Amino acid sequence: MFWSKQRRHGVVDTLVGSNTHVNGDLIFSGGCHIDGTVKGNVNAEDFSDSELSISEDGTVEGGVTVPYVIVNGIVQGDVVATQRVELGPTARIIGNIYYNLIRMAIGAEINGKLVHQPESQVPLLETTEQEPESTI
């Protein structure tokens, strides 16, 4: 496997086999490996140390939000990797990649933007508005 020495997990907790098609979102914790097809978003529940690997035969048609991502297959959607994303020589990303660290092999394709987001940078999802003070 591509860069297998740097894998965070030795154990795959969730496996989508090569003859498996998932229609809907996939939420996992720990390690997840995709050899089949997922038509939906793939998200890590345990955000601290979860890892997703997508093999050369694997496809995700939706967004990916996982701290550690290794792609050798196809992702048709945005990839958000809060820690690290690794793209193998057969990786095809059709969407934007938001990353802290990135490693890309010759041959990987990205049809979208690369957006660096340092680990210390916390995106603001909500803006808080203060109600105007009333005068009596």
Residue 89 lies in a domain: yes
- Count of structural domains, the chain: 1
Does residue 38 belong to any structural domain of this protein?
A: yes
**Residue 3 within a domain:** no
Assigned domain for 81 exists = yes
Q: What does the pLDDT look like over 68-113, one tens digit per residue?
A: 999 999 999 999 999 999 999 999 999 999 999 999 999 999 999 9
Provide the domain limits for residue 30. Answer: 13-105
Q: Is 1 among the domain residues?
A: no
Mean pLDDT, rounded, for 120-125: 46
Report if residue 2 sits inside a domain.
no
- Model confidence pLDDT, tens digit, residues 22-68: 999 999 999 999 999 999 999 998 666 899 999 999 999 999 999 99
Specify the pLDDT at position 121.
58
Residue 55 lies in a domain: yes
pLDDT for position 119: 74
Q: Is the pLDDT of residue 3 over 90?
A: no
| Sheet with strand 109-110: strands edge to edge | 21-23, 37-39, 59-60, 74-75, 92-93, 109-110
What are the structure tokens assigned to 47, written together? Answer: 């955000």
Beta strands in 42-96, from DSSP E residues, in sequence order: 42-44, 51-54, 59-60, 64-65, 68-71, 74-75, 79-87, 92-93
Q: Sorting pLDDT into bands at 50, 70 and 90, what band is 129?
A: very low
Global model pTM greater than 0.85: no
Q: Is residue 49 part of a domain?
A: yes
Triad 120, 85, 124: Cα angle to 5°: 35
